[in-house]
Amino acid sequence: MGALKVGIAGLGTVGSAVVNMLASAKEQLAERAGRSIELVAFASKDPPRDPSIDLSKLKQAADPLSLAKDPGIDVFVELMGGEGDPAKAAVEAALSAGRSVVTANKALIAKHGNALARLAEKHNAAFAFEAAVAGGIPVVKTLREGLGGAKISRVAGIMNGTCNFILTSMQKEGRSFQDALKEAQQRGYAEADPTFDIGGFDTAHKLAILTSLAFGTEIDVEAIHIEGIESISLADLIAADQLGYRVKLLGVAERTEAGIEQRVHPTMVPKGTVIAEIDGVLNAVSIKSDALELTLVGPGAGGPATSSAVVADLVDLASGRRSHALGRATANLAKPKRAAIQRHEGGYYIRLAAVDRPGTMAAIAKAMAAEKISLESIVQRHANSRPHGGDDPKLAASPAPVILITYATTEDAVRRAIAAIEKDGVLAELPQVIRIEKS
């Protein structure tokens, strides 16, 4: 066979790294694929992030859509990002022309992956996206091809390096959330507007893809319960450490009797477990099945990690290895049965800023008992109290932190209990609730 001819749209950090890898490892890639992989064209509205790459021998397309329709390429590599156009229009154009697509665009897949997978099947084109989830960790290939007939019951992990860096910095260096975020931005781990990362939305997009691959369902990003890490304080991390936990932002998808539960939120995980010890910008994904349990760990973002995943997809295409985009024919993907977060069962960490006055603890205990919530531990730290001022709330004692660790209970029960405590007027601040995972 002749060379696999590639056109690439987007020459940012990842795109530049892909160009470099295809050039520097050309002979090695040809040996692995059985044919050469040749970059022949590109489209980019901006100069390449790496100014040292040589584009002089490549054809420059006027725009991504023109490149996607170019009959001179076999594969369209989309590295622009974004769930809408021009990425969406260009990918659709390439697939409609029977041209295979490789992308790292998790937002596009989470939003339009079902339709794009159907389009790829209709026109006998491949749609590959290993680089869209967890960078250099081959979790897509593992779920799609590597577990044989194993029945997967749970997929969970750290899927956003920005959040993991911030939480690690807070926990190990005693930084505030804002200080840790500022350092992440200075190091290039966080964007100027970090909402997409710290709000949990990036993790949700990745989780939606993994859920489809793990459970044979259509992608259903709208079903995911999403919480970010903005409310996590240093006090929570200190308390977690004292209680034997670490706090991580996890994406979790699991099969339950009520359906497929998908959630993204800060989570307390026991010290000593693999997930608890993943620090900095590393990612980790754990897969539990009836046959085995495994955890994949590695860099989740950045040029070298993500470009290696893009190039790995190109090697598969050059070799003639092709799989259904979502692990099976789209006609065989089930409509996911959603399990509401209110049905979730597990342990909870609850931090209350309780007003230091008679009857406060009784009100808290009454609310918990009413919902049949059993408490594993109660930690009350006395505040620096001022003298009580009778009925004047301005002169009342300072709030006293009260930390509750529950045994397994339901989300609904916890929320009802907290609402009752708030109604009693014994809290000075909004409560903090963090779910606990035992593994």
Q: Is residue 75 within 8 Å of residue 5, measured between CB atoms?
A: yes
Can 122 be counted among the known catalytic residues? no
Element (H, E) at 308: helix 303-319
Spatial separation of the C-alpha atoms in residues 11 and 24, rounded to whole Å: 17
Give me the catalytic one of 206, 271, 335, 438.
206
* DSSP classification of residue 121: H
Distance CA 42, CA 67 (A): 7
Strands 432-436 and 345-354: antiparallel
83: CB partners within 8 A, 6+ apart: 105, 107, 108, 110, 111, 112
Q: Which helix (H) or strand (E) holds 284?
A: strand 282-289
**Structure tokens, 255:** 């099969």
- Structural contact between residues 74 and 4, judged by C-beta atoms closer than 8 angstroms: yes
Task: Give helix 303-319 / helix 13-24 axis angle, nearest 10°.
Answer: 50
Q: Can you point out the beta strands (E) in 147-305?
A: 152-158, 225-226, 245-256, 259-270, 282-289, 293-299
Tokens matching residue 338: 């959603």
What would the 3-class secondary structure string for 401-413 be?
EEEEEECCEEHHH
SS3 label, residue 120: helix
For residue 64, whether the previous peptide bond is cis, meaning omega lies within 30 degrees of 0, is no
Cα separation, 3 vs 74, whole angstroms: 9
Closest CA to 67 of 37, 108, 97, 36: 97
Cβ atoms of 284 and 157 within 8 Å: the answer is yes
| Cα angle: 419, vertex 381, 270; to 5 degrees | 75
Non-local CB neighbours of 365 within 8 Å, separated by 6+ positions: none
What is the β-pairing status of strands 409-410 and 432-436? Answer: unpaired
Active-site residues: which are they? 206
